[in-house]
Amino acid sequence: MHHHHKSRAIAAAAVSAVSLLALTACTASGDSSGESSGASGSDTYTWWDPYPQHTDGSDWQNRVQACGDEAGVTIDRTAYDTTALTNQLLLSAQEGTSPDVVLLDNPAVSTLADTGAIISMDELGFDTSAIDPNLLGAGVVDGTAYGIPIGANTLALYYNQDILDAAGVDPASVTDWDSLNAALEQIDASGSRAITFAGIGTEEGSFQFLPWFWGAGADLTELNSPQAVEALDLWVSWLDNGWAPQSAIQNSQNTAWEEFLDGTVGFVENGTWQVNSAADAGFPTGYITIPAMNGGAAPAPTGGEFIMAPAQNDSARYDVTRQIIECMTTPEGFVQTADTFAYYIPPTADGQAQFLDEHPELEVWVDAVRAAKGRTSDNLGTDYPLISEQLWTAVQSAMSGAQSSQDALDAAQDAAVAATGR
Amino acid sequence: MTTTATTADGEVSSPARARRRRSTGSPWVAVAFAAPLIVYLAAFYAYPLIRSVDLSIHDYNIRAFVQGNAEFVGLQNYADIVSSPLFPSALWNTVLFVGVSLLFQYAIGLALAVFFRANFKLSGFLRALFLVPWLLPLIVSASTWSWMMNSDSGIINSFLGAVGVGQINWITSPDTALTAVIIANIWLGIPFNLVILYSGLQNIPGDVYEAASLDGAGAWTTFWRVTFPLLRPVSAITVLLGLVYTLKVVDIIWIMTKGGPANSSLTLAVWSYREAFGTGQPAFSPAAAVGNVLIVIALIFGLAYVRLQRREEH
């Protein structure tokens, strides 16, 4: 009897031990993978980027690997979409399992730098003096650079040549808001939709609105200035006049681009990255820079990813990390990146010169990128996401008719001040 | 000494049970048997819950999240949430979203269940078709709904236009955005209600209906006097589960409207998600606070259900 009792106890203990083991096994495997990315002497370096479209065997993957080979290590590359990448980075930073190299959308750089999860380029021993200051700006916090742009893109107005011809509009005549509005009215009168854009309630919406906002002379520290109201009134009037489709309120940049590719819209506000797609459209296309209110090119926000080095427990790894980053950011490296990513403009003068040698027809884009402005520049840094959220909310409120532009921007300014304490 | 068979779930056959009455037995044995369950509950239920409360009573800005040194702020996050101008509208939107969704999901689900109770040719096939919304990935159905509801080129507006109704800006107008996501959500929830209520109907014995028809009850009287009352326990659990699911719906609203325009379709769940993941500046603490408010709401209804059931048993 005693024997029986004991065997039952042992069996029960075994069951619970197994279940505990299963749990500890989970955590243990988590730890060990963390160690492998942080251990010195290991010759595998981890690399995260937001380009899931570039799969194993793609040019991009091979390039990343080539830079690893040059530094004498293997690169283990993982691609996430942008939002998932930010979350993964935060979690891995919390657990001390950060990758060695990460590429991330530029407005997120100052936020990450603020957490201490990435090291500065000075700590890494990387010289940033060759990078265009307006492009590097998004990665600079209190005078210290935390990443290098691997290329830059920005926004412009693409047009459908057929529709403009039918309406008798000469794209070269569009030089300021008045001439743009005149062109849109003419297109509308000819029976086509005049323009579309992305007014979605996310960062993309703010990104698309900023050229008009800055082009009117408004400043992100004062969202309800008369210039800001004028910029928002411009968008609202396009919707009210039926020049832009209602869907612009919920469009992402991809959706807006698809509307344009349908061949029913005269103009679309979109980015450098669509140059190849525009060339493949079923109709002739062209592009102009976004006009500022009173003429000239509006400062468009810079887009594009920064390459960064997350903090590691073992600082001996930084040496190889620096070599990998240097390999990606030589003038040749920038041009290769530019080619891989459909006209990602190099962020250095050398890179731009070399790029223009190969693609002289893209000088407009290079000029636009040189004139562009970082969203987190003006020392907005980590306040930018908070301000931007209020801005896109106001844009949506005004366009959907919930509030007037003035009221919406007044509310946005109040909320932004409350959130940032500026 | 004969060995006693112990079944997988720890139930011991009768000789062992008799023995246990005599010997007190080691309490450790009981603990050991319960251990897998306790470990499971602790790891997958207690810990996330505690973590969520922990997030909501600290100020986890993004820096503190990484460095793990968040400042303790007590109920400040809850106070901020409740005093936010968004709170009343998000709460009201949640009430509307959940209430209207449940009402229509249940009514349509029940009507379909009663309809399919009468077995006819192809009824099995048709019933299976009604399950399609359940089988489709949400990203597909939500995107399809938002295309159908497109103001300028959506199929719904072109149909309405054909019968003389003017353009409705379903998801781009603050007046209709909430209605639009509710319609999509009703469509999503019908299969769940149909399946549960249909299986509930199967458990109502046929002779009750025979008796009703002998007494001369028509279809309408049969439904209200027989089907509906006998289905009440199943209905209660269906509505409760539906309530809990619907309270925490984020995906369909996020995909269709992102809670906009002008926060007009913002529910508490979407607000929580947006605070945590929808902007460039994750704010986990307010997000957790909103999430916990939702848990409390769900809990209140859960307890109300338990109480209701207990009263019915007595």
Q: Do A183 and A270 lie in a common domain?
A: yes
Q: Which two tokens stand for residue A353?
A: 């010169």
- The reply to whether A8 falls in a domain is no
Query: A166 and A197: one domain?
Result: yes
The CA radius of gyration of chain A, in Å to the nearest whole number, is 25
Considering the domain architecture, whether residues A51 and A97 belong to the same structural domain is answered as yes
The alpha carbon of residue A381 is apart from the nearest alpha carbon of chain B, in Å, by 11
A188 at the B interface (CB within 8 A)? no
**Is the same domain home to A296 and A308?**
no
A to B CB pairs, distance under 8 Å: 139
Judge if A171 and A225 occupy the same domain.
yes
Task: Say yes or no: A235 and A317 in one domain.
Answer: no
Residue A127 pLDDT greater than 70, yes or no: yes
> What's the number of domains chain A is made of?
2
pLDDT in tens, B56-102: 999 888 788 888 788 898 899 999 999 998 999 999 999 999 999 99
pLDDT bin (cut points 50, 70, 90) of residue A101 is very high
Per-residue pLDDT at A238: 96
Chain B residues touching residue A11 (CB < 8 angstroms): 6
Where do the domains of chain B lie? 28-72, 77-313
Among partner residues B32, B43, B281, which is closest to A13 by beta-carbon distance?
Answer: B32
pLDDT tens track for B97-154 = 999 999 999 999 999 999 988 878 888 888 888 888 888 999 999 999 999 999 888 8
Q: Tell me whether residues A90 and B63 touch, CB distance under 8 A.
A: no
Q: What is the mean pLDDT of residues A153-157?
A: 89
Q: Do A393 and B260 touch (CB under 8 A)?
A: yes
The predicted model gives B168-188 an average pLDDT of 93
Residue B25 has pLDDT above 90, yes or no: no
Q: Is the distance from CB of B302 to CB of B240 less than 8 angstroms?
A: yes
At B39 the pLDDT is 94
Looking at the fold, whether A394 and A250 belong to one and the same domain comes out as: yes
pLDDT tens for B302-314 read 999 999 888 877 7
Q: Is residue A4, in this structure, part of any structural domain at all?
A: no
Other beta carbons within 10 angstroms of residue A15's beta carbon come to: 15
Phi/psi region, residue B6 (left: phi>0; alpha: psi -120 to 50; beta: rest), is beta
Alpha-carbon distance of B188 to B202, in angstroms, equals: 23
**Is B14 near chain A, with CB under 8 Å?**
no
Residues in A touching B4 (Cβ below 8 Å)? 4
User: Taking a C-beta distance cutoff of 8 angstroms, is the pair B162, B156 a contact?
Assistant: no
Contact A245 B152 (CB under 8 A): yes
Considering the domain architecture, whether residues A324 and A210 belong to the same structural domain is answered as no
| Mutation to test the B interface, candidates A246, A251, A254, A390, most B Cβ within 10 Å | A246
Say if A22 is an interface residue toward chain B (CB within 8 Å): no
Report the CATH number of the B77-313 domain. Answer: 1.10.3720.10
Is the pLDDT reported for residue A8 higher than 60?
Answer: no
Q: Quote the pLDDT of residue A371.
A: 81
Mean pLDDT for all residues in chain A: 85
Q: Is B171 on the interface with A (CB under 8 A)?
A: yes
Q: Calculate mean pLDDT across residues A301-321.
A: 90
List phi, psi (to 5°) of A348. -120, 155
Contact between chains at B280 and A93 (C-beta distance less than 8 A): no
- pLDDT at position A385: 87
Q: Please report the residues numbered 104 through 143 in chain A whose beta carbons come closer than 8 angstroms to any beta carbon of chain B.
A: 107-108, 111, 114-117
What's the whole-number mean pLDDT along residues B268-273? 94
| pLDDT the model gives residue A19 | 44
What does the pLDDT read at residue B152? 84
Cβ of A400 within 8 Å of Cβ of B150? The answer is no
Interatomic CA distance for residues A225 and A248, integer angstroms: 24
Provide mean pLDDT across the span A220-238. 96
**What pLDDT does residue A314 have?**
86
Tell me, what's the pLDDT at B290?
95
B43 part of contact set with chain A, CB < 8 Å? yes
Answer yes or no: do A383 and A254 share one domain. Answer: yes
Cβ contact (<8 Å) for B36 and A15?
Answer: yes
Question: Residue A264's domain is classified under what CATH number?
Answer: 3.40.190.10
Q: Is the pLDDT of residue A21 over 50?
A: no
Whole-model pTM: value is 0.81
Mean pLDDT, rounded, for A148-164:
92
Beta strands in B11-98 (DSSP E): 58-59, 71-72
What pLDDT is stored for residue A232 in this prediction? 97
State which residues form the domain around A93: 42-149+304-371
Beta carbons of A16 and B36 less than 8 Å apart: yes
Residue A98: inside a domain: yes
Asked whether residue A47 falls in the same domain as residue A88, the answer is yes
Interface of A with B in 79-98 (CB under 8 A): 83, 86-87, 90, 93-94
Residues of A in contact with B3 (CB under 8 A): 4
Lowest-confidence pick of A10-14, A89-93, A321-325, B243-247: A10-14
Q: Is 90 exceeded by the pLDDT of residue A194?
A: yes
Residue A25 lies in a domain: no
The reply to whether A125 falls in a domain is: yes
Asked whether residue A36 is domain-assigned, the answer is no
From chain B, the residues in CB contact with A8 under 8 A are: 6, 29
Examine the domain organization and report whether A185 and A285 are in the same domain: yes
State the pLDDT at residue A180.
96
Higher pLDDT, A366 or A398: A398
Instruction: Compare CB distances from B26 to A9, A90, A402 and report the shortest one's residue.
Output: A9
Interface contact A250-B26, CB threshold 8 A: no
Of the candidates B264, B280, B273, the residue with the CA atom closest to the CA atom of residue B294 = B273
Q: Which residues, including other chains, have CB under 8 Å from residue A352's CB and lie 6 or more apart?
A: A345, A346, A366, A370
Choose one of A371, A388, A409: the last residue of a domain.
A371
Do residues A295 and A395 both lie within one domain? yes
- Residue A20 has a pLDDT of 43
For the segment A399-420, the average pLDDT, to the nearest whole number, is 93
Q: Is the CB of A202 inside 8 Å of chain B's CB atoms?
A: yes
Tell me if A388 and B43 make a contact (CB, 8 A cut-off). Answer: no
Q: What pLDDT sits at residue A27?
A: 38
